[in-house]
Amino acid sequence: MEKYERIRVVGRGAFGIVHLCLRKADQKLVIIKQIPVEQMTKEERQAAQNECQVLKLLNHPNVIEYYENFLEDKALMIAMEYAPGGTLAEFIQKRCNSLLEEETILHFFVQILLALHHVHTHLILHRDLKTQNILLDKHRMVVKIGDFGISKILSSKSKAYTVVGTPCYISPELCEGKPYNQKSDIWALGCVLYELASLKRAFEAANLPALVLKIMSGTFAPISDRYSPELRQLVLSLLSLEPAQRPPLSHIMAQPLCIRALLNLHTDLGSVRMRRAEKSAAAGPPLVPGSTGSRTSSARCRGVPRGPARPAIPPPLSSVYTWGGGLSTPLRLPMLNTEVVQVAAGRTQKAGVTRSGRLILWEAPPLGAGGGALLPGAIEQPQPQFVSRFLEGQSGVTIKHVACGDLFTACLTDRGIIMTFGSGSNGCLGHGSLNDISQPTIVEALLGYEMVQVACGASHVLALSTERELFAWGRGDGGRLGLGTRESHCCPQLVPMPPGQEAQRVVCGIDSSMILTVPGQALACGSNRFNKLGLDPLSLGEEPAPHQQVEEAVTFTPLGSAPLDQEPLLSVDLGTAHSAAVTASGDCYTFGSNQHGQLGTNARRVSRAPCRVQGLQGIKISTVACGDAFTVAIGAEGEVFSWGKGARGRLGRKDEDAGLPRPVQLDETHPYTVTSVSCCHGNTLLAVRPVTDEPVPP
């Protein structure tokens, strides 16, 4: 104890004494649990050691932080974080009969929810979750769960048989002596939520048999009808007698009621961050929330009229076109009377973000949507190829950017929070599992950071914070995550950056990744087949010797092929076997495979050297997008060009393969600006808005 000064005893628990102490090194108040081990039974010693083991595993802003443990005077000393605001039970007791506002209830509840999700992610059961074990900071705004003395670390699929915990919070299956897993913690979570809403426990009785009877019958008084139906239903679902009917934590987090509270939590508690090494403020321009990501970029340029203007007919707020996948000419998609400002294409998804922050999806209509039998003489109406819908359950959430992988989607909110949904294969949703999720769910591991960009590859994700911290997760073979290994990860991992380099923009390809740094340099990792990442060390006009060819990189590596390693790059995109980049001067360069003419040169050359696209002389290019074997470029005056493989309408016109850029014609009668373009596999999605004299809203 030479490092600490005892101040006073603040509690006596089942296994020992709790001291408030002053850490001499930094004058910080800490809690030290003094647990005598000499007089303990073997089971008690195991419980004490378990608390140390559990605390070492956990690292979350809503879980009491563990500092160290040591032996002194035949006692185990556990040093941990001090929460000066007391317990949640004391906070509730002081309310007397004054019910809490629903916003306050949810503010506390979602923090407990996040903490429990973190605990369960590490295969730990708390097994004694109650308001007495939930602590508050000095402002009584931040919740921290503690007392893991009877937690159990689970092996996969195992169940804990020991009946432990406070009787008022134990679940029906424990009363019956049945095994249980995380669902009993969820029951206790329901008891805590009930207590926040009612200021009393859900189950109380004069003796244990009567208490067990109440729990087994699920008998408790309803919470006040002043609260929303959604909150009352949440309490009922958490306190379902059947464990299988209690929703998993990820589903609870996905409910609109909780999403709104989680987003508000991020704003209210912006200073509560994941613990990590501090670093000095970066030089260079600050990042602005709002994002660009993989396979999608924007050109904010005046377009060219495609026909005589008709002032009597006002132009639409915006138009979104798609081609490829059998559509040989651009098809205007249904818009739901809204303005789409950014689009993203995946293998099966077509998604857009509206100016108001809603997520719009375009899908093939359900079978039989054309209706029943026609009346005699009626003309059959063609079935639409796509129908549009807004994503359900998005109330209270403002989406700023969307990115699509092969079978999953990632969204960035205006408050810097990333949400994912779709297929969970390869861990690409970032929720710590391989489970599929149908509704957007917050990537909980990133809640301590304000994110500004997200990009999706076929089965991996990159995300960037305002402090230029780069995270990656999902499939890792080929080194595409930039973590120095080929391992896959189902939770976000902090990516090491080369010294002196800071990410400004992130891009993902099928099996590779690229970042643009603050001065416009590019770094890449993953598969460099055909030198599609430009990693071969090449001077202008050179071809690499076989021993110089770089086949893959497992960490982010500077591009080595001239002129990509010399000129600042404004836009890059990664296709299946080739890539494209736009320099600060508006020149377009392509590199990688040219099997189908996707590099935009006359000859189907076999070369690993980057080449300048021919046929675009005198045209300043602002952005590019790459598909599986074709390229789309947007000019500074709104021109749209495509080249490469022409099968199944990839080029947006009835051409076969085209080795040189040719224009794509859009059915627009007004001058327009291309606001976003995205290519994936054989499809393209492009958004335009009419150019008017009215200022564009921010």
The binding site for ATP comprises 33
Rounded Cα–Cα distance for residues 157 and 525 (Å): 36
Q: How many CB atoms lie within 10 A of CB 183?
A: 20
State the virtual CA torsion across 4, 10, 12, 18 in degrees, nearest 10: -20
φ/ψ of residue 60, rounded to 5: -155, 140
Residue 326 CA: distances (Å) to CA of 269, 330, 647, 668: 49, 11, 8, 22
CA 1, CA 32: separation in Å to the nearest integer?
A: 10
Amino acid symbol at 178: K
Beta strands 588-592; 578-583: pairing state = antiparallel
**What does 136-184 look like in DSSP terms, one character per residue?**
E-TTS--EEE---TT-EEPPTT--B----S-GGG--HHHHTT--B-HHH
Instruction: Compute the distance between CA of residue 553 and CA of residue 614 in angstroms, rounded to an integer.
Output: 30
Q: What gap in Å lies between CA 501 and CA 557, rounded to an integer?
A: 10
Phi-psi region of 150 (alpha: psi -120 to 50; beta: other; left: phi over 0): alpha
Angle at 573 between CA 572 and CA 579, to 5 degrees: 100
Q: What are phi and psi of 185, to 5 degrees?
A: -65, -35
Reduced to 3 states, what is the DSSP secondary structure of residue 428? coil
Catalytic position from the list 26, 73, 128, 693: 128
Six-digit token string for 332: 């205007």
Reduce the secondary structure of 234-249 to three states and give it as a string: HHHHHCCCCHHHCCCH
| Separation CA 319–CA 316 (nearest Å) | 7
β partners of residue 254: none
* CA–CA gap between residue 81 and residue 90 (Å, rounded): 19
Secondary structure of residue 30 in the 3-state scheme: strand
Cα separation values, 599 from 149, 544, 685, Å: 62, 18, 20
For the chain, the farthest-separated pair of C-alpha atoms sits apart, in whole angstroms, at: 98
Strands 124-125 and 134-136 turn out to be unpaired
Annotation: binding site: 33
How many residues make up the chain in this entry? 698
By C-alpha distance, which of 262, 242, 123, 116 is closest to 185?
Answer: 116
* SS3 assignment, position 253: helix
Helix axes 229-238, 182-198, angle to 10 degrees: 140
At residue 531, what is the residue type?
N
DSSP 346: -
| β-bridge mates for residue 680, sequence order | 683
The phi and psi torsions of 229 (rounded to 5 degrees) equal -60, -35
566 backbone φψ class: left, alpha, beta (φ>0; ψ -120 to 50):
alpha
For residue 338, the tally of other CB atoms under 10 A from its CB is: 17
611: closest CA among 630, 624, 592?
A: 592
Q: Buried b / exposed e across 131-157, counting CB within 10 Å, b at 16+? A: bebbbbbeeebbbbbbbbbbbbebeee
| Residue 612 neighbours by CB under 8 Å, 6+ apart | 587, 588, 589
Is 147 one of the annotated active-site residues of the chain? no
Reading the block at residue 307, the tokens are: 């026909």
Which amino acids are annotated catalytic? 128
